Structure 1
Amino acid sequence: MKYGSTIILRIAVILIGLVVLVLCIVAVPALAINATINNPNFAKPLYPVLIGMCLAAIPFFIALFHTWKLLKCVDNGNAFSTLAVTALKKIKYCALGVAGVYLLTSPFFYMLAQKDDAPGIVVICLLFMGASLVIAIFAAVLQRLLREAIAIKTENDLTV
């Protein structure tokens, strides 16, 4: 395949990574400082939420790296290879890791929603968990289909 066939996906991966990086470096500390200055009681349940968000960024960036590797495989014509299956497996585990981090921080989201009297904060947590689980399930299905396609391809190559 041509190198440009996945250029839009590569641009999207870069932009998403930059947005999350800027949020972790700029927005999260600014929110923590603002909460500490304006309302110290509000800051106590906010800190675990912000720390959880930054911790969830670690498997997120690992998944972006493996997504980049998967796109490289597609560009090189190796979409049906064990390297692609491995990349999908790692993306699946990273998505499960992100969902796990948000599951562990969900009580703090609830406490934060109780202090602020805003139930939408809990919905944000559920949205992050749900999106991560959807990505994990999608990666697992693609991994299984790709593994079966590789087995069929190998069988056909041996038949000839």
Structure 2
Amino acid sequence: MKRETLFLKVAVFLIGSPVLALCLFWVPGIVGDRSILDPEISLWRYPVMIGLYVTAIAFFMALFQSLKLLSFIDKSEAFSELSVRALKIIMTCAIIISAFYVAVLPLLYVMADSSDAPGIIVIGLVILFASTIIAVFAAVLKKLLKNAIEIKSENDLTV
């Protein structure tokens, strides 16, 4: 099992690295430059940064929980309440990200309209739909895992 989970752990790190780089370098730069170019948006500078960092924290919490889930698989503890809890946290983080982007889409529309850049809206929609799909997938996996744990405990009591 270690080879398969090693590949997935590396994939999790490869997914998290660019997001961390964006949070450290791109977000402060783009928000600062954008507010200089467009004074109307300068009011929104700090709320946008705070919102992006809140979604980044939720994203990294979900990545950490996925690493925990992979370690449970390595230890042959995949069918446990700890795995269900990790999936629940992943689902909650995805819902937080989705809710934030639903709330921010009108602001993204205003920003895109003022700078004539419709790609901003597309990026927001992609993040929204991806996090919604992840939330639904985690909910389905959580339900399946709970059912499997119940069946396993019934079989253990039968023997």
- For the criterion TM > 0.5, the same-fold answer is yes
1:72 maps to: 71
- 2:124 equivalent in structure 1: 125
Compute the displacement of 1:50 (Å).
4.0
Q: In the alignment, which residue of structure 1 is the partner of 2:115?
A: 116
Query: Which amino acid is 2:106 matched to?
Result: P
Provide, for residues 53-112 of structure 1, a one-character-per-residue CA deviation record: whole Å limited to 9, x for no partner.
222101111111111110000010011111101100110001001111111211110111
Q: CA deviation at 1:32?
A: 1.9
1:144 is the counterpart of 2:143: yes
Which residues of structure 2 form unaligned runs of 5+?
none
Q: Deviations over 1:130-157 (max 9, x none)?
A: 1000000000000000100111111111
Unaligned runs of at least 5 residues, structure 1: none
Distance in 1 between residues matched to 2:119 and 2:36, nearest whole Å:
23
Aligned twin of 2:85:
86
RMSD between superposed Cα atoms in Å:
1.6
Of the structure 1 ranges 133-142 and 59-68, higher mean CA displacement relative to structure 2 is found in 59-68
Q: Does 1:102 find its partner at 2:115?
A: no
1:23 is matched with: 22
Q: What displacement does 1:16 show?
A: 1.6
| 8 A Cα contact 1:49 1:109, kept in partner | no
Distance in 2 of aligned mates of 1:136 and 1:96: 6
Structure 1 partner of 2:3: 4
Please list the CA deviations of residues 16-71 of structure 1 after superposition, one character each: whole Å capped at 9, or x if unmatched.
22211110110111112222343434545565444322221011111111111100
SS in structure 2 at match of 1:79: coil
2:111 & 2:46 partners in 1: Cα distance? Answer: 10
Code of the aligned partner of 2:61: I
Identity %: 48
Judged with a 3 Å threshold, the aligned counterparts in structure 2 of structure 1 residues 120 and 108 are, in CA distance, closer, same or farther, namely: same
Query: Is residue 36–residue 43 contact of structure 1 (8 Å, CA) maintained in 2?
Result: yes
| Residue in structure 1 matched with residue 12 of structure 2 by the alignment | 13
User: How far apart are 1:117 and its partner, in Å?
Assistant: 2.0
Report the count of equivalent residues. 159
Comparing both chains, which one has the higher relative contact order based on Cα–Cα distances under 8 Å and sequence gaps of 6 or more? 1
Mapped partners of 1:57, 1:15: distance in 2: 15
SS in 1 for 2:65: helix
| Normalised TM-score (structure 2) | 0.91
- Find the counterpart in structure 2 of residue 63 from structure 1: 62
